[in-house]
Amino acid sequence: MRKEYLLTPGPSQVPADVLLKLAEPVYHHRTPRFKEMYKSLTEKLQKVFMSSGDIIIFASSGTGAMEASVVNIVPRGKKALCIAGGKFGERWSEICDAFGIAQVRMDVEWGKAADPKAVADALASDPDIVAVYTTLVETSTGVENPIRDIGAVVAATGAVLVVDGVSGAGACEMRVDDWNVDILVVGSQKALMLPPGLAVLTVSAKARALLDSVDNPPAYYFNLRKAVASAAKTDTPYTPPLTLMEALLVAADALVEEGMENVFARHRKYAEAAVAGLKALGLKVYPERPAAALTAVEAPAGIDAEKIRKIAKDKYGAAIAGGQEQLKGKLLRMAHMGYVGPMDIVIGLAALEMALADMGVDVTPGSGVAAAEAVLRSG
Amino acid sequence: MRKEYLLTPGPSQVPADVLLKLAEPVYHHRTPRFKEMYKSLTEKLQKVFMSSGDIIIFASSGTGAMEASVVNIVPRGKKALCIAGGKFGERWSEICDAFGIAQVRMDVEWGKAADPKAVADALASDPDIVAVYTTLVETSTGVENPIRDIGAVVAATGAVLVVDGVSGAGACEMRVDDWNVDILVVGSQKALMLPPGLAVLTVSAKARALLDSVDNPPAYYFNLRKAVASAAKTDTPYTPPLTLMEALLVAADALVEEGMENVFARHRKYAEAAVAGLKALGLKVYPERPAAALTAVEAPAGIDAEKIRKIAKDKYGAAIAGGQEQLKGKLLRMAHMGYVGPMDIVIGLAALEMALADMGVDVTPGSGVAAAEAVLRSG
């Protein structure tokens, strides 16, 4: 009797009412019914992301929307500032390279957060930078970057701030307007509680102006200017991912009904419980600024994290992610975003403490769960 | 974000592939397609219950099938022996009363198991008894009765043994042929991993002979002789619960694939883990012979079990059952049957230890989970 608990940082768990919506009959998208749904969805997503800007939806993974927010934004002769502190931060840089877009790359040690002061210095020293690219939650390291502070820095310049919020937006605190985020990129399969396949962007007036300045961007499907123009008419340039959008409306409704302040607090509490539990097991939390959406922790010295994961999954049914790139075998990453409750934290910790004990690591059984329970009971 | 874990002893959790089967289009039941499915289902259920007898299916709750196995079995002038050691054992007696069927009622103290020796004595002292009615798992008390021993006693007489296996058959050890069970009654919403609405009976040759001796039973829909005759032609007297049967085939396939010996061992292990965890929390397990399908435990002295349940459910999402009748407010009942994995035990115990702590009960956080982990890790 196999029963799996998906605790990976995307895809994440999908609530039953969202799954059922996906099973409804398909209708045509060039209809008033679609426009009405799209209008509602736009309004809800504006509330979820606390944005008064345009809401653009692509049938793509989050990476597609990242590409859209690079190729349409940086004109030839200008530069992107790419903050790379993990696999996903580095993706901004890779996209620039793929399209021959000039960049200033700011490498951040993995596990550390981006430094707003360094961003200010970079912007001051190179007036060709028109856009700053960073990451809300660096999923590969579990870092949550100080977007509010970076936003304040960028807002004081002519540049726009583009944030990869694929992992985290909808779970971690993220206030697009207040924090001066010009483009926020989000994927469906994380805090938005959907299967993969859909990406969302918010686009500020400042970003829209930049879009209009870029002629002939290297984009057709991902032409953001065209998408923004269509969205103004509650329409899409190409066939939209209709059923995923219907399902997203269900998920967004749930988030708005819960209230984003409650959503933020709930995820912060999960993170505190996970961190407390993992520390009680004697493990070292990896990031210097742990995210509300997932917790990354180092495997004990000399123990292969992949073996721990395999036991947690095969024997106890808890699917926990491992490390990526140079962290493979060294890191365990437990997500707690989206359709998650207190018991998901308990499940992840119980699976880890049993797996560690199975591997002969000296852990006190129940100690991780006990520490998490103290946090989960509070408030 | 509400997330509920159903740990009640029926309805229980339903696997996704069973739910999806229920969503398939309906077809007609007087067709070769139905006959083929019914034939497969019969063969699978014979394996699940280890019975070579007839397999009868009613669209009803388990109680309907209990009624069928009383009214069609005890002829006028003869008697039923009803073993009543809890709410469900008493139901046999209530059914006899409703139809004016003579009975010898054997009351067993709640929390205690039925005594095979007492059954032998009752049968020896009253030759009018043609059927013995008992319960595999007395859900109200968490007792698992010694059916094997009772079966040996009854098999040595002319009487038949009828077992209410609604709660437990398909999870607890139950070998219909080997244990001389003439009629086993099972409901869909427990170990069979279906929603409620369907009941199964196994009917032995000995029981069939008795059926044939009862003329004009007080039954129309629940006429078991008619149902057996139809089943011999892979048919049903009235419209069968087609989609539930299709779904049951999926569930039965999974049980047969796992292997019933493995199924029995798995549930026994869950029970051991639950008992170990609850004892570690200082709680007293209620039944003298704890079932593999659920664990009933007393609330701490002076603490209302209903309040514990409410916190476990509302704050932590774990739906645990309470006591019934005179045990209301005194008992907590945590099921572990059917679509259940090791984490369900962890979830139930974590919810209880948090709820107890919230109520000011002196429990060591994590101690229940730790004790269960030791059992779950073994073997």
pLDDT number for residue A234: 96
Estimate to the nearest angstrom the gap between the alpha carbon of A231 and the chain centroid: 23
ipTM for this model: 0.89
Q: Supply angle C-alpha A50, A53, A59, rounded to 5.
A: 95
What confidence tier does A96 reach under pLDDT thresholds 50, 70, 90?
A: very high
pTM: 0.93
| Residues in B touching A347 (Cβ below 8 Å) | 343, 346-347
Closest CB to B370 among A5, A342, A365: A365
**Which residue in A263, A266, A367 is closest to B366 by CB distance?**
A367
Query: How many residues belong to chain A?
Result: 379
pLDDT over 90 at A192, yes or no: yes
For residue A2, the tally of other CB atoms under 10 A from its CB is 10
Answer yes or no: do B346 and A347 touch at CB < 8 A: yes
Distance CA B170, CA B263 (A): 8
Cα→Cα distances B304→B281, B282, B329, B331, B362, Å:
16, 16, 5, 9, 15
Contacts A311 to B, Cβ<8 Å: none
Q: Cα separation of B340 and B168, whole Å? A: 13
Q: Number of Cβ pairs closer than 8 Å across A and B? A: 110
- pLDDT tens per residue across span A143-183: 999 999 999 999 999 999 999 999 999 999 999 999 999 99
- The residue ranges of chain B whose pLDDT is under 50 are none
Does the pLDDT of residue A1 top 80, yes or no? no
3-state SS assignment for residue B348: helix
Average pLDDT of the residues of chain A: 97
Residue B376 has its nearest CB partner, among A342, A354, A364, at A354
Give exposure, A214-233, as e/b (b: 16+ Cβ within 10 Å). Answer: beebbbeebbbbbbbbbbee
Residue B190: C-alpha distances to residues A202, B55, B292 (Å): 47, 18, 13
Give the per-residue pLDDT at A379.
Answer: 75
A1, A343, A376: residue with CB nearest B339:
A1
CATH superfamily label, B5-10+259-377: Aspartate Aminotransferase, domain 1 (3.90.1150.10)
Per CB-CB distance under 8 Å, the chain A contacts of B339 are: 1, 3
B343 with A1: Cβ contact below 8 A:
no
- Tell me the average pLDDT across A352-374: 97
Residue of A nearest to B369 (CA): A366
Pairwise CB contact (< 8 Å): B341 & A258: no
A358 vs B377: CB contact, 8 Å cut-off? Answer: yes
Residues of B whose CB is below 8 A from A5 = 343
- Is A318's CB within 8 Å of B343's CB? yes
For residue B109, the distance in angstroms to the closest alpha carbon of chain A comes to: 35
Q: Do domains B5-10+259-377 and B16-258 have the same CATH topology?
A: no
Alpha-helix residue ranges (DSSP H) falling in chain A: 16-22, 32-49, 62-71, 87-99, 116-125, 147-155, 205-213, 224-232, 242-258, 260-280, 305-314, 342-358, 367-377
Nearest to B353 among A254, A358, A373 (CB): A373
Sequence ranges of the domains in chain B: 5-10+259-377, 16-258
- The SS3 assignment for B161 reads strand
pLDDT exceeding 90 applies to what percent of chain A?
98
Residues of B with CB under 8 A from a CB of A: 1-3, 5, 23, 254, 258, 263, 266, 315-318, 339-344, 346-347, 350-351, 353-354, 357-358, 364-371, 373-374, 376-377
Rounded to 5 degrees, φ, ψ at B251 are: -65, -45
User: A104 has which bridge partners?
Assistant: A81
Which residue type, as a one-letter code, is found at position B128? D
Domain B16-258 fold is Aspartate Aminotransferase; domain 2 (3.40.640)
Q: Which pLDDT tens digit goes with each residue over B292-332?
A: 999 999 999 999 999 999 999 999 999 999 999 999 999 99
Single-letter amino acid code for the residue at A115: D
